[in-house]
Amino acid sequence: MYVLCTGLNHKTAPLEIREGLSFSKEVLQEALLNLRSHISEGVILSTCNRTEIYTVASEPETAAQSIIRFLSQFHDLNAESFAPHLYSYQDTHAVRHLFRVASGLDSMILGESQILGQVRDALTASADTHPPGVPLSRLFHYALRAGRRVRNETDIGKNALSISYAGVRLAQRVLGDLKSKTVLLVGAGEAGRLVARALRTVGVESLLISNRTLARAEDLAQELHGQPVPFDDIHHAAGQCDIVISSTDAPEVIFTRDEVAQAVASRGDRPLFFFDLAVPRDVDPAMEGLPGVHLFNIDDLEAIAEENRQGREKSALAAEAIVEREVERFSQWWRSLETVPLIKALRREAEAIRRQELEKAFSRLPDLSTEEKKALEQLSRSIVNKLLHKPITSLKEPKAASHLQAEKELYRSAGPEDESPDPQA
């Protein structure tokens, strides 16, 4: 069996490709059920910067093609439009990739704070729909362990940026001091809450908060002393603001070009800045052509991300070392999936031979007492255990797959069916 990861991210695909293959929370359960008709089990990890599918398969190339067909059919996209942007990792490469993802080492914002929870949520969603088998489930638990260790044992998790906070940093870079600006935040989910707290941290005083569920907007507004706005009023509210930051999980744009054009018609020369942190995008890309409207999306965070990476290089090296140790831990467990059955088979065959030979000895020595038979029984067990000690210890040691295969072949060739005839039989 092989661990397989097939997907794309911000390094391999532009935003328009990533958003086309993303899975919102609303469709994730349906997607996981649909995925089962293509591969036997799988976990879907879908974030603003990546869509990845993990599975365990005996034929990884076939499984990778099945995943591509699933993505094509579920999203109603021609595979040729996104296949060139996909990567496919197997075995240790796939394990290392997931561990680096969970540790924030593969994120646009190095060490970003949300990814570990997103990896956990991906496993939970899969378990709630159709629990993955032990190997795939264990893979994700090891990945979460690696992520926790990196956050707890290195500085990469200290004062870590999130995509949401980086969006606020970008707004500061573009506009300077935000204290006097009126900001409309659309989306009161986890990402939105992070944005809202970041806005308060940089001194924004006039904060409007909207969400499809008004109660959530009201709760966040009360927590941060903002003003809730009904979702149906977001276009009107946008026309009264300086900045709009949108970070929802909506499957389609919520700010269309025509609606925003009407909202800003009376603003005169006063500019309006949109920061779209959502994938799929919340803001119609065509809006960028409107006079006085300036649009930024998640890919515009690269400059912030680069500064963040430069400041965390030493922490990243320490984190990479932890990841490698955790990859080896998982690899040892993975190899045990093959060695444990082999050890059991070796013990089973040795026990069968021991009993067979002991019965022959008893039949030749009919006058043995019960105590003598017990002594021979104990002697035969001791000899077998001592003979098996080194081979079993060798099987338990970390080794390359080629060495393990060689030991399998050696065991088969030395099996009972190939034994030389007993000259005393």
Kindly list the catalytic residues: 48
How many CB atoms sit inside 10 A of residue 313's CB?
9
Structure tokens of 188?
Answer: 């009161």
d(CA 116, CA 114): 6
Beta carbons of 201 and 226 less than 8 angstroms apart: no
- Taking CA atoms, 109 is separated from 51, 155, 160, 308, 312, in Å, by 17, 14, 9, 7, 10
